[in-house]
């Protein structure tokens, strides 16, 4: 039996980066996703870095300047608004039962400052117990698990809640809560 020879994969060369191409990439990204300014900067820089990797003689500093100019224009036109983005994300994360630690971490990754995040959590009247209870209901753990399995799965449920970002006291309250 003859083994099939593996053909080497073709490396797809990225298209040349121009100011218009960066604008098109940014508009297409914003058409599909809501984004913070810093997140869009990261997306565009990855494209520039990919092109620069395949074309070492090309200088990416010019493209970085184009990106900054583009971001200023997009903010002026209202395509990018970090406040609006953070507000929407906080609402969605709270509704999904995410912990304050999770929300803060995710939004900091997207370039939103911690002060703004804490203000938005206060505006949302974030209640760690209610959020953790919603999370436990959604996952079917703790007080939402079958009575005969609760004690057996207590450690597992505690780990799940702690990894989700809830503090120890809140987790203890959830696990001792009776539905």
Does 13 score more than 90 pLDDT? no
- The C-alpha atoms of residue 73 and residue 68 are separated, in whole angstroms, by 9
Distance, in Å, from the CA atom of 9 to the CA atom of 48, rounded to the nearest integer, reads: 23
| Annotated domain spans of the chain | 19-77, 82-123, 128-176
pLDDT digits (tens, 9 = 90+) for 131-144: 999 999 999 999 99
| Burial class for 8, CB neighbours closer than 10 Å (0-12, 13-18, 19+) | exposed
Average pLDDT, the chain: 92
Element (DSSP H or E) covering residue 145:
none
The 10s digit of each residue's pLDDT in 18-27 is 999 999 999 9
Q: Which of 165, 171, 167 is closest to 142 using CA atoms?
A: 171
**3-state SS of 79-112?**
CCCHHHHHHHHHHHHHHCCCCHHHHHHHHHHCCC
- What are the Cα distances from residue 30, in Å, to 68, 79, 165? 16, 8, 29
Total-model pTM: 0.80
Topology, domain 82-123: Arc Repressor Mutant, subunit A (1.10.10)
86 pLDDT tier (thresholds 50, 70, 90):
very high
Asked if pLDDT for residue 29 goes beyond 70, the answer is yes
Q: What is the pLDDT of residue 4?
A: 59
pLDDT at 2 over 70: no
Number of H helices, E strands in the chain: 10, 0
């Amino acid at each position: 039996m003859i083994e099939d020879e593996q053909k080497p994969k073709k490396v797809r060369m990225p298209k040349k980066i121009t100011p218009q191409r960066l604008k098109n990439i940014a508009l297409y990204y914003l058409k599909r996703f809501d984004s913070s300014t810093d997140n869009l900067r990261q997306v565009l820089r990855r494209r520039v870095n990919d092109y620069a990797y395949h074309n070492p003689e090309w200088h990416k500093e010019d493209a970085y300047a184009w990106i900054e100019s583009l971001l200023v224009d997009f903010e002026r036109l209202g395509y990018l608004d970090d406040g609006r983005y953070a507000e929407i994300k906080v609402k969605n994360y709270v509704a999904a039962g995410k912990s304050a630690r999770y929300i803060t971490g995710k939004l900091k990754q997207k370039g939103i400052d911690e002060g703004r995040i804490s203000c938005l959590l206060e505006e949302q009247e974030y209640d760690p117990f209610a959020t953790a209870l919603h999370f436990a209901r959604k996952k079917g753990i703790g007080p939402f698990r079958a009575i005969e399995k609760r004690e057996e799965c207590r450690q597992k449920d505690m780990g799940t809640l702690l990894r989700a970002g809830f503090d120890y006291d809140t987790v203890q309250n959830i696990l001792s809560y009776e539905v």
